[in-house]
Amino acid sequence: MSQHDTTHAPKATGGGLIGWIVGLLVLVVGMVVAGFVLDAGQVWVVPETQSYVALGGTADAPERWVASASEAGQAAAAAGTVVVASSWETVTELPAGAADRPAAAVMSWNRTIGVWLAAILTLCIMSFLIGDNPFYKTAEALVVGASAAYWMVYSFYTGIVDKLLVNLWPGLVRSWTTPGLADDYHWHWIYIIPLILSIMLVCRLLPSGGWIARWPLAFIIGATAGFRLLAHLESDFLLQIKGTITSLWAVNAADTFAFWPSVSAIVILLSVLACLVYFFFSMEHTGLVGKTARGGILVLMVTFGAAFGLTVMGRITLLTERFDFLFKDWLHLL
């Protein structure tokens, strides 16, 4: 079901290079003009100071924080019982290109630069459609590096801190990232198992003895096998059979024969059976089996066609969203 009539993505040689340079120049000039004419990418924000006071604990370990502006905060300030105070600034972003800005609004340089960066990166990735080029390579290098680090940070805080450390040394986590952790939260010995397995896994880095990493791998794959076997048998096998079982003689609310629902019930049953025959491994697809299997593959093709049609819808929306970003948030054209 495929073709080998391919069009090769041309390399950026001689003429190509000139094309790229001209294109780039046009883009840069366009961007500069857009920057001045359309205020492209400008983000305005309203700054706001958050300030809190602690009413209990010590200066080193303050407790019971309340907003300074709250009743309790003001009362404590008046009574002089504030242990320690802290304040920082947050900002509220205004909609892109909003005409009437409040007086307190200021332009946020870091967010404006951010929108420009985002727009340029969007164009860099899209440039791959013309052919592989230095802009795409740069964007690709950035996304690989930054996203790998992003996931490391995320798994460190959500996996190692919030799952492993919190269950082995709750006190440490309470004083560090999660002061809200209940005081009666105790450690769980069972989490020594993942700790040991993790250490074994990291042994892979050692010049010799890396084979010890096979133990945790065996643990994971064994657990996966057992867990998935049950989960899929229950939800995919039993539930789908159950869902298909219905009366082939359909009736409506008045208890009289309903023609089209009956047809569809029969078609569904026969289609499922035909597809199952298609998946048979121990019978050659000849004779009656072959004909039924062919019916099965036809049903599968309709299934795939329908899924294709529905998916197109989603993919186009994604592109719309990107253009929305470029035209609205960056160029302020809409």
Partner 1 sequence: MIAKRTIPLFIAALVGVLMIATYFVPYTEKWGADAMEMFIILAAAAMVLGAGNLLLLNLSKISNRQPGWGYAGITLTAFFVTLIIGLFKIGAMPTSSAATNAWTAPVVQEGSPFWWIYKYGLVPLTATMFAMLAFYIASAAFRAFRAKNVEATLLLGTAFIVLLGQVYAGVWLTDFLPTLESYVAGFPAASQEFVLAVGMQVKAGVPLTDVVVGGVAYANMVGEHHALAIETNNYIGGWWYQLLNGLRLENLTQVILDVPQKAGNRAIMIGIALGIVSTSLKVILGVDRSYLGSAD
Partner 2 sequence: MLNLLRNLDRRLIFLIMGLAVAIPVLMRFEPPSEVTMMDQNVFDAVQDLPDGSRVLLSFDFDPGSQGELLPMAMSFTRHLAEKKHKIYFMCLWPLGEPFIEDAMKLLQEEYPHLKYGTDYVSFGYKPGGEAVIKNIIVDWKQLFITDSRKQDLKEIPMTMKLKSAKSMDLLISISAGDPGTKQWIQYAATPAKLPMVSGCTGVQAPLFYPYIPDPLSGLLAAIKGAAGYEKIMSEHYPDLKTPAFVKSRFSSTAAQQRMGPQFVAHLLMVALILLGNVIFFIDRSQGNA
Partner 3 sequence: MGMTGMKYAVGLLLAAVLAWTTQSFAADITLAPPTDVSVEDVPDDIGTQMLVMWSTSPSEAALVAGKRALAGYAIFRRVAETGDGLESIGEQATGASEIGFPANFDFQAEQPIGSVSYGRTRFVDENVEAGSTYLYAVAATGPGDTFSPLAVAGFAVTAQMEYFNVGKLWFLIIMLMISLVIIGFVWYAKQGGEIKVRPIAGLEAVSEAVGRATEMGKPVLFVPGILDINDIQTVAGITVLANVAKTAAQYDAQLKVPTARSLVMTTARETVEAAYLGEGRPDAYNEDNIYYLTDEQFGYTAGVQGVMVREEPAACFYMGAFYAESLILAETANSIGAIQVAGTAMPSQLPFFVAACDYTLIGEEFFAASAYLSNDPEQLGSLKGQDIGKIIAAALLVLGCLIATLAVTLDTWRGWQIAELYIKDNILGTEGLVPNEEKVKIIDANIAVELESLAQQPHGGGDGS
Interacting positions 191-250 with partner 1 (CB under 8 A): 191, 193-195, 197-199, 201-202, 204-205, 211-212, 214-233, 236-237, 240-241, 243-244
Smaller CB separation from partner 2, 74 or 162: 162
> Which C-beta is closer to partner 1: that of 76 or that of 115?
115
Q: Which does 281 bind (CB under 5 to 8 A by kind): partner 3, partner 2, partner 1, none?
A: partner 3
Tokens linked to 121 = 């990166």
**Contact residue for partner 3 among 245, 253, 288, 313 (CB under 8 A):** 245
Min dist. Cβ of residue 233 to partner 2 (A): 12
Who contacts 41 (Cβ-Cβ below 8 Å, separation ≥6)? 35, 112, 115, 116, 119, 329, 330
On whether the CB atoms of residues 120 and 75 are closer than 8 A, the answer is: no
Residue 180 engages partner 2 in binding (rule: CB under 8 A) = yes
E strands present in the chain: 44-57, 62-67, 84-93, 106-107
Cα Dmax for the chain: 95
Interatomic CA distance for residues 155 and 143, integer angstroms:
18
Distance separating alpha carbons of residues 330 and 121, to the nearest angstrom:
12
> Using CB distances below 5 to 8 A depending on partner kind, what does residue 215 bind out of partner 3, partner 1, partner 2, none?
partner 1
Its sign, for the CA torsion 76, 80, 84, 89, is: positive
**DSSP secondary structure letter of residue 104:** T
Contact 187, 167 (CB under 8 A): yes
In angstroms, give the least distance from the CB of 332 to partner 3. Answer: 27
Query: Is 287 a residue that touches partner 2 (CB under 8 A)?
Result: no
Report in angstroms how near the CB of residue 290 gets to partner 2 at its nearest: 26
Binding site for partner 2 (CB under 8 A): 5, 7, 95-98, 129-131, 154-155, 158-159, 163, 166, 177-182, 185, 231, 234-235, 239-240, 243, 303, 306-307, 310-324, 327-329, 333-334
